[in-house]
Amino acid sequence: MADTPPDLDWLALAAAATPRATALVDDDGVHVSYADLDALVGAACDRLSGSGAAPGSIRLIAVDRVDRHLMAELWASWRLGIVPLVIDRDSPVLSQSPALVDGWLGAPAPEVHTIVLTSGGGAPRPVRITRSNVVAAVAAAIERLGNTADDRWLLTLPVFHIGGLSVLWRSAAVGGTVVLHNRFDAARAAAAITEGAVTVASFVPTMLFRLLEFDPGPYEGMRAVLLGGAAANRELVERGLDAGLPILQTYGMTETCSQVATVVPGEAAESLGSAGRPLSGVTITTGEAGVGEIVVTGPSVSPGYLGEPDRTGGYQTGDVGYLDDNGRLVVLGRIDDMIVTGGENVYPQRVSEVLSGFRHAGPVEVVAVPDPEWGRVLVAVVVGDPTSSTALEDWAGERLPRHEIPKRWIFVDELPMLSGGKVDRIALAALARSAN
């Protein structure tokens, strides 16, 4: 039946070792044991085998609702050696480019485990995640986080992105529990934490902000809150820590099978402003000058994109950063986000982090638009009340050099977001241009 190596079928191993343990708590509150989930996977395997699907073939799984039945379909694909391409049912790839999707449904290299689309604001690219990538990434994450069978991991991230899929693998590998929330809801997440239903969570900064706005805490009982997927400003992390949440900033991407650097548990306070140290087996370099493009090498790095030759050398992330004196990674922003305004180099992400520390503002994003005098100028898009604009500009003037102070300010009720919880940079740029 399956050629899946036993070190990857963590679900079957857990079902054999602890069949009555809870594998997941479904979105409707149903507790599903490892034995019951394994039975669902077995039934899904029978259906797939009857359809004639061969090991190594790509299976498109369009995600609408995340529940135990979807979990069974995913684990059945992995058990049979079928390669799932997990995609948002509302993805423009499905609605606008069906031929492209059909073109992806060929036979990949035998070592491919899963295909995941990149989640940035540009055209998504199908990343080949191999079996060895998954094994290495899961082992390194568990070593850093120390999660065990006693942990209950809150999953609100979409499983069509690598962050969500990684939670499934990490939890099953130790026989832990995944608590499924079909979408992020601040009230529901706060209740899960305060009632002791979860011990670990994975959030993007927008989720953490909404959680703390709904209930500033204090919170107790959480062992780790992974914060990644987008840049988080220092003030937001400090708010989380003050609320009793053990925030662990992390850095990773689809091409590296999720996290490659994460704050060590217990070191959150001294690691503020960084994504922590590289995980075991991962090497991160930032150029000979010390500050430059972040390049990642290690066994969790994908060999490349579907339909393209294997990558040679490390993965060039397109991000700029450096390793501080303690070996922690500090990310400055995207190479292509760096702008020259009036002859000065500026990284908008760093400006956003400073502005987001203003207590009367919510999240702030900074983009650049063309300008006849300066070449390009910074535009700050602020979640908040426009009546605070003068105070915010004064506050920025005390903390930023003149060339980093935005020349235009836009106040909005919320930022445009992608499905994975990241800011939609394309929509943000369009908003900034329209207000020009």
User: What ranges do the domains of the chain cover?
Assistant: 10-333, 338-434
Partnered with residue 85 across adjacent β-strands are: 60, 115
Within 268-388, residue ranges assigned H as helices are 348-355
Tell me if 177 sits within 8 A of 153, measured CB to CB: yes
DSSP 8-state secondary structure symbol assigned to residue 280: T
| β-pairing verdict for 200-203 and 152-155 | parallel
CA 339 to chain centre: 25
Q: Is the pLDDT of residue 283 over 50?
A: yes
Q: What is the mean pLDDT of residues 329-352?
A: 76
Residue 396's pLDDT is 83
| pTM listed for this prediction | 0.81
pLDDT tens-digit map of 147-173: 999 999 999 998 999 999 999 999 999
Residue 133's pLDDT is 96
Q: Is the pLDDT of residue 85 over 80?
A: yes
3-state helix, strand, coil in the chain (%, to 5): 35, 30, 40
338-434 and 10-333 share a CATH fold: no
Q: How far apart are alpha carbons 363 and 31 in whole angstroms?
A: 36
Say which residues have a Cβ less than 8 Å from residue 266's Cβ, sequence separation at least 6: none
pLDDT tens-digit map of 165-209: 999 999 999 999 999 999 899 999 999 999 999 999 999 888 898
Residue 3's pLDDT is 44
Residue 148's pLDDT is 96
Q: What are phi and psi of 351, to 5 degrees?
A: -65, -40
Which tokens hold the place of 5? 């190596």
With cut-offs at 50, 70 and 90, classify the pLDDT of residue 115. Answer: very high
Q: What is the mean pLDDT of residues 295-313?
A: 92
Q: Is the pLDDT of residue 88 over 90?
A: no
pLDDT tens-digit map of 4-17: 445 589 999 999 99
Tell me if 238 sits within 8 A of 265, measured CB to CB: no
Say which residues have a Cβ less than 8 Å from residue 337's Cβ, sequence separation at least 6: 347, 348, 349
Tell me if 82 sits within 8 A of 57, measured CB to CB: yes
Residue 56's pLDDT is 83
Looking at domain 338-434, does it have CATH number 3.30.300.30? yes
Query: What is the CATH T-level fold of the domain 10-333, as seen in this structure?
Result: Rossmann fold (3.40.50)
Say which residues have a Cβ less than 8 Å from residue 233's Cβ, sequence separation at least 6: 205, 352, 353, 354, 356, 357, 364
CA distances (Å), 214 to each of 207, 227, 235, 411, in order? 11, 18, 17, 21
Q: How far apart are alpha carbons 191 and 154 in whole angstroms?
A: 12
Say which residues have a Cβ less than 8 Å from residue 143's Cβ, sequence separation at least 6: 279, 280
